[in-house]
Each structure stands twice: as structure tokens, then as C-alpha cells.
Amino acid sequence: MKAFTRTKYGGPDVLRLEEVEKPTVKDGQVLIKVEANSANPADWHILRGKPFFARFTLGLLHPKDKIPGADFAGIVEQAGNNVSHLKAGDHVFGETLEGGAFAAYTSVPANVCAIMPEGTGFSEMACVPVAGITALQALITHGKLKAGETVLINGASGGVGHFAVQIAKAYGATVTAVCSDKNVAFVRSLGADHVVAYDKENIHQHTGKYNLIIDTNGNLDYKDYKRMGQRGVMVGFTTMGHMISLILKKATGKFPLAQFTAEANTGDLETLALLVQSGQVKVRIEKTYSYKEIPKAIQHIEAMRTMGKVAMVWENVDGAL
């Protein structure tokens, strides 16, 4: 089968499209014929082996996992032993943080997959897992958002942010979205009640008050959370120094600030599937690439200015590499 592989750390140009062996299915896993992927900032962090301490998990000198890729949607070809909720032929979407998704076939634990809602497409649903799960868990699992509350979402126009705006609205919150001026109309179209353009108004001097602050961009300071919010959730970070400083202040201060690593599970994927099916969440795809252009899609994401998501489709896979 075809797959993108790499043997060293580096930019998207270290990826090679190669013929490799199709993966086998272990107990609890499903083998999926991949129809589409999406790219996330985690893909380029993993490709580059950055931040450096991540290499203690990813492989100190060389990457341990040859095939990268997390988000996928596709068709179950085979279900392993002890898999009860999926069978061959099911259309599924999911994520694997162990890599392996940028390939024509991937074998993943069944508990990081869910059935695609009827009427949805592979590229649409491949965009949901990492960013959608992160938005859902930031708002609901860690942010404890309740209907009628107010939430400020910093970084509202990207993958995580555009899902967060729509999920917060679906749960009955009033949403203030922070994005660049060029994306104001985009975040309003997602349902944001108020918008702050960070290149027109300094967010570090914003005087609004909110029940919950979600920072997907990662440039908010501890004093910003305290000034604007009753509780906060850190999703992304702009620099390592900023991350360490916030985590130290969180450990020593009293403000309820959560930091987490999103984890896929079938239940949360099913919640997202229902939100997509009901039309409360619409997947907004800025650009769709062919699977052959997966390195370009990662380059696109690395600029950190994506509006919604980028998708990659595995069409016309037979033929020359």
C-alpha cells in the first residue's frame, strides 16, 4: 500500500510517498481503508520532533513511528477480535496519536473511532477528530461550560477555534470570538455573538468579563485570565517559555485554570457526529489537497493562519507514486 514515511526529523520535505506493507489487525483494532485525512499542528510538531522533550516519547535521535498522521475517515475493511461497535463496511472517522494515518490503510484501536453520520463526506469527517475533540473537551470536560454562560474563545478562526465557537453555541452559551480582522465575517458566520479583532484591539487590554476563557492560540497571560474570566482552559501555547510561565503561575495561584491533552474516545466522537448531523456544527474546509500533497497540507497548517481546516483525500490511489 502507499504511505508517507520518514526516517528523520525535519520539515514536511522529509516525508516520502512509498510502497509499504499493509498493517495487520490486532485484538481491539480495526483495519481502515483511508479515504481522507486532515492536518493539525501536532503533525508538524511530531514531524520536526518539537518541542525537543517530546523526543523522549517520539524517539530521541530518530522518529520511532515511520508513518505519521492522526486524523482519518474511511471504511472498515476488517474488525479484530473484541470489537463490538464496528464491522467491515462501516464508514468511520477517528484519530490516532500513535501515527499511521497518512497511509492508504491504517490499523487503529476501535475505541478511537465512531460511525460517520449519514449524508456526511469523508473529507468533512476527517477534519473533525483532533480539532473537534479538543474543542469539546476544552469547553465541556475541562471548562464545565453551562447553558446561559458567557465564553471568550481566543483563536476562534482555526481548526479548534471554529469548532469551539459552534459547540459553545450548541450548548447554549454566549460567545465572544477573538480572531484577526480578516476573519471577522467568518467567525460571525459560525454563530459568534461578539467578535474582537486582535489586530484592531489589544486583547491584553480587553475589559470584557466572561464565565469561561478558552485560549487556543496560547498568547494570553495569567493576568489576562484573571482580569477577564472566572475560569480558564489553556489549549495551545505560542512559546515554551510562555507555557512554563503559565503552568508555574497556575500551580502557585488560585485562579481555576485547566491545561489538558485531548484524548479521543468513541463517546466524544459520537457527540461530535450528532452535532454535525443536526447541523449545529458545520465543518469549514479552507482547502482540500490530494493525498500526494500531504506535505503541502502540513506546510499550510504550519503557517498557523488556517481558516477552519484543511483536508487531504485518497482518490485515484492506484498508479505511479
Ligand X SMILES: NC(=O)c1ccc[n+]([C@@H]2O[C@H](COP(=O)([O-])OP(=O)(O)OC[C@H]3O[C@@H](n4cnc5c(N)ncnc54)[C@H](OP(=O)(O)O)[C@@H]3O)[C@@H](O)[C@H]2O)c1
Residues 6+ apart with CB under 8 A from 158: 131, 216, 217, 304, 306, 307, 308
String of contacts with ligand X for each residue 23-62, x by CB under 6 A? -----------------xxx--------------------
Within a 13 Å sphere around the CA of 150, how many CA atoms are in the beta-carbon half?
Answer: 12
Closest separation in Å from C-beta 164 to ligand X: 9
Closest separation in Å from C-beta 178 to ligand X: 5
Is residue 129 within the footprint of ligand X (CB under 6 A)? no
Closest separation in Å from C-beta 253 to ligand X: 20
Closest separation in Å from C-beta 272 to ligand X: 14
Residues 6+ apart with CB under 8 A from 162: 131, 156, 186, 187, 190, 284, 307, 308, 309
Phi-psi region of 101 (alpha: psi -120 to 50; beta: other; left: phi over 0): alpha
106: how many CB neighbours lie within 10 A of its CB? Answer: 27
Residues 6+ apart with CB under 8 A from 267: none
Closest separation in Å from C-beta 134 to ligand X: 4
Report d(CA 164, CA 171) in Å as an integer. Answer: 10
Nearer to ligand X, 78 or 219 (CB): 219
Site for ligand X in 150-169 (CB under 6 A): 154-155, 157-161
For ligand X, the binding residue among 107, 216, 266, 271 (CB under 6 A) is: 216
For ligand X, the binding residue among 136, 301, 311, 313 (CB under 6 A) is: 301
Cα dist. 110→61, 104, 134, 269, 284 in Å?
A: 31, 18, 19, 12, 26
Closest separation in Å from C-beta 44 to ligand X: 9
Nearer to ligand X, 12 or 23 (CB): 12
Are 285 and 124 within 8 A, CB to CB? yes
Are 29 and 107 within 8 A, CB to CB? yes
Which residue from 237, 228, 275 is spatially nearest to 155, judged by alpha carbons?
237
Nearer to ligand X, 272 or 301 (CB): 301
Nearer to ligand X, 114 or 220 (CB): 220
Query: What DSSP state is assigned to residue 282?
Result: -
Report d(CA 19, CA 289) in Å as an integer. Answer: 20
Q: Which residue is nearest to ligand X (CB)?
A: 158
Nearer to ligand X, 30 or 214 (CB): 214
Nearer to ligand X, 70 or 79 (CB): 70
Nearer to ligand X, 42 or 86 (CB): 42
For ligand X, the binding residue among 236, 257, 281, 283 (CB under 6 A) is: 236
Is residue 180 within the footprint of ligand X (CB under 6 A)? yes
Site for ligand X in 91-120 (CB under 6 A): none
Report d(CA 309, CA 285) in Å as an integer. Answer: 5
Which residue has 514536511 as its cell numbers? Answer: 12
Nearer to ligand X, 130 or 275 (CB): 130
* Positions that interact with ligand X (CB under 6 A): 40-42, 130-131, 134, 154-155, 157-161, 178-180, 183, 198, 216-219, 235-236, 260-262, 301, 304-306
